[in-house]
Amino acid sequence: MIHMLSKFDLRADIDFDEFEQDYLRFVDTIRNSDFIKSADPIGRRIKDTPMDTAGDEEPEFYSIMSFKDRKQLDAAYEYLLNPAVPGNDKIAHQKIHKAVINSVFTCWQDTL
């Protein structure tokens, strides 16, 4: 299984609740189209604990998507570049993309 960690901040003019609903609609679309295996809900960083050793520059929000294999991961990337169905699919991703700043994506594969 392959996982992708998305770390990001939201633009100051973005309402988190609206963003979260857009994210959930987008996740449903790509899950139902078999471009991801699963996705965790958006998480918010907890900075005020000694367990968080990341620097202050780290983003506030996180999410993890999981993929069955490399083939599904690559298909998902191609889909994001060229949605199969123009319109709603592309709009959903564009709304998310325009709402985030400071985004960083990290992928890894389970070793067992």
At 58, list the tokens.
């780290």
Please answer whether residues 10 and 99 qualify as being in contact, where contact means their C-beta atoms are separated by less than 8 angstroms: yes
What is the residue range of 91's domain?
2-48+55-109
Domains contained in the chain, number:
1
CA 76 to chain centre: 12
Cα-Cα-Cα-Cα torsion 44, 16, 8, 105, nearest 10 degrees, comes to 90
- The residue whose two tokens read 């294999």 is 69
Q: Which residues contact 100 (CB under 8 A, 6 or more apart)?
A: 8, 9, 10, 11
- Per-residue confidence in pLDDT tens, the chain, 112 aa: 999 999 999 999 999 999 999 999 999 989 998 999 999 999 999 999 999 998 888 999 999 999 999 999 999 998 888 766 555 566 778 889 899 999 999 999 999 8
Which domain CATH number covers 67? 3.30.70.100
